[in-house]
Structure 1
């Protein structure tokens, strides 16, 4: 019976991920990625080669960047990042080339600030991806209005 619960939980996560990818990210993403602790991963599709932009929660672990994976490591952006051995992170007006992705599970959520742990625990977000910067930080030019 517990296998059934796990499967339906994963199914709910995948449906939520699909909804966010198709609708919510388009509206919330541009605002959210300008806030401290958030960013956008720019990655290339494994088959299409198309460029995608996915909002993420970003943490620092020494020189490395770590993102929580609330929808698990099966997310398209994670699979694309692994396939291409890296991605670009846009955060707080900077573009950072990242490489050497490493997916891991941490039920203690050691990289997550203590006040955020209960929220991520609620979503059972124990999966993370860690990447190292490979290029100097580049400032993104401000958009002219």
Structure 2
């Protein structure tokens, strides 16, 4: 028996094929909430850009993972050990990607972001360091 896709899986697919391509026109711009992460495909070597919510922290960024840790862009970043983030109109080379849990991310996030991510049930985050 094939398991039924969850609502979150359906939303992830909608975002990947419909919302993300539209969002890329604004992601990373000054005064826009979404950033853009540029990463290289693990097998293809092709360059990809994915919109994400990258929260600036003292030495880098923390990115919530609302669809879990199995998404392609994250697997690409982890395999490469680096990526490029465009946020607020500036571009940053980032290294040392590490998946952290909500308890580790919370003290580094603003109360507003911490509360929003908790409300959406986001348990995993990607932490990267600006090179």
What TM-score do the two structures reach when normalised by structure 1? 0.76
Gaps of 5+ in 1: 1-6, 135-145
Task: Give 1:65's aligned residue.
Answer: 61
Number of matched pairs: 127
Deviation string 1:1-35 (CA, Å, 9 cap, x unpaired) is xxxxxx87x83222211211111011123224323
Deviation string 1:86-131 (CA, Å, 9 cap, x unpaired) is 1110112222111111101114733332223343223211211111
Deviation string 1:53-92 (CA, Å, 9 cap, x unpaired) is 1111111221121111111111111100000001110112
Task: Give 2:19's aligned residue.
Answer: 24
State which of 73, 79, 94 in structure 2 corresponds to 1:77: 73
> What value does the CA root-mean-square deviation take over the aligned residues?
2.2
Bigger-Rg structure (1/2)? 1
Does the Cα contact within 8 Å between 2:38 and 2:49 map onto a contact in 1? yes
Gaps of 5+ in 2: none
Whole-Å separation in 1 of the counterparts to 2:108 and 2:7: 26
Whole-Å separation in 1 of the counterparts to 2:106 and 2:32: 19
State which of 52, 76, 88 in structure 2 corresponds to 1:56: 52
Comparing 55-64 with 112-121, greater Cα deviation is found at: 112-121
Does the Cα contact within 8 Å between 1:59 and 1:111 map onto a contact in 2? no
Does the Cα contact within 8 Å between 1:37 and 1:59 map onto a contact in 2? no
TM-superposed deviation, 1:36: 4.7
